[in-house]
Amino acid sequence: MADGNRKYFGTDGIRGRVGEDPINPEFCLRLGWAAGKVFAKKGPAHIVIGKDTRISGYMLESVLESGLVAAGADVSLSGPMPTPAIAYLTRTLRADAGIVISASHNPYYDNGIKFFDGEGNKLPDHIELEIESQLEEDMACEASDRLGRASRVAHAPGRYIEFCKGTVPRGFSLRGMRIVLDCANGATYHVAPGVFEELGADVLVVGAEPNGFNINDGCGSTHPELLQRKVVEWHADLGIAFDGDGDRVCMVDRQGQLLDGDELLYIIAQHRLAEGTLHGGVVGTVMSNLGLEKALAEANVPFCRAKVGDRHVTELLHANDWHLGGETSGHVLCLDVSTTGDAIIAALQALLPVVARDCDIRDLTADMQKLPQVMVNVAVQNPAAVVAADHLQRAIESKTAALAERGRILVRPSGTEPLLRVMVEGEDEAEVRSIADELAGVAAEGV
């Protein structure tokens, strides 16, 4: 979905239904060419391309490669790899940019294109706009002696596994710990088990048999019920679930109870505070539970909220010169060890205090009391128009006044899907649920 004055780029690259504009071969061929022309303006360009496990990845990888090569750019293909792995490979291979073919937590029939700059950061707005401008030009192939070349990245999974292991102290060990991993039949399926096994854990794996169609299907961080069940069945110490492209994570304690991104942020922040390595405060989003904000305030840790989207969290972290931030959904950013949200690295950071204190991960959230929070998604064709409608705004104002200081309401369009997200948070769960359902009904009236 487009964002602001962009025609194609949304909050997390370009995303849509496969075969429909813009996620089709014709557009993505031109996108590869346009990106190649933009990145080659200062000389020969080198671009890394990775993907998740969707069946459409083969098609989109081929046309992006062709477009880039036609523009004179050299291409390195990593095959299926987590999104943060492409950020890492782009940086360490000294490439000019990285491209990830993924629709993250969406079903297999969606796909998307995400970009990183040469430092492994999300592209700045002006580069995205420059690519969009180039897309309006007539596509022209470079002369044969100026075409780019394509090659495979040697040992990409092994490189990334070693990088992840290197983000924890050398003496850190998971020996004696029984961990269930749910890889969402996605991009972490062949790297995450290796990371945790090589750190000494007894690893049990689900969601690691991708077939092109089962990514995020009843598994992974967006469907943690499978992980919760397996942790209890297998008497594991904890469970870790990733999403399809490996930038979101949730965890499960030994009782099968879920820990979301807010709780993981709190665990990591408290450990870093105790170790003297927090470096400033914590950035959450407008969706972050009020319980996180209150618990951090009790610990005298600064906290501020960004708009939803790890892009906005990253921007605010850089502006504050802080390292730690994230979203309730499980995007957790530790900018001192990775340039972008990395599910494997976030899980390892949360495990540092578990190992240090030899405790159940749930014990580390004892001082954080989450307020009841209800999210209702309303399918709409134009979420931005619906959220601005007078009848919905009047209903929001009325319910906000009724809640007073006991809670808050947030109604916003999704940045990645044709959905309106209605979030209500407060002290009384029944009241919160009632308000959320009523506002969702009002929103649906305008569909």
Instruction: Name residue, tokens 């992980």.
Output: 227
Distances (CA, A) of 356 to 203, 296, 349, 364, 445: 20, 21, 11, 11, 53
> H or E segment at 289?
none
DSSP state letters, 111-174: EEEEEEETTSPBPPHHHHHHHHHHHTSPP-PPPGGG---EEEPTTHHHHHHHHHHTTS-TT---
* Residue 173 a catalytic site member: no
Give the residues across from 304 on adjacent strands: 283
Bridge-based pairing of strands 324-326 and 303-306 is unpaired
Give the residues across from 204 on adjacent strands: 180
DSSP state letter for 211: -
Cβ-proximal residues to 212 (8 Å cutoff; 6+ apart), any chain: 53, 54, 55, 108
The candidate with the shortest Cα–Cα distance to 121, out of 346, 339, 345, is 339
Q: Which residue in 56, 76, 102, 104 is the catalytic one?
A: 104
Between CA 326 and CA 273 the distance in angstroms is 17
Its sign, for the CA torsion 249, 20, 213, 51, is negative
What are the catalytic residues?
104
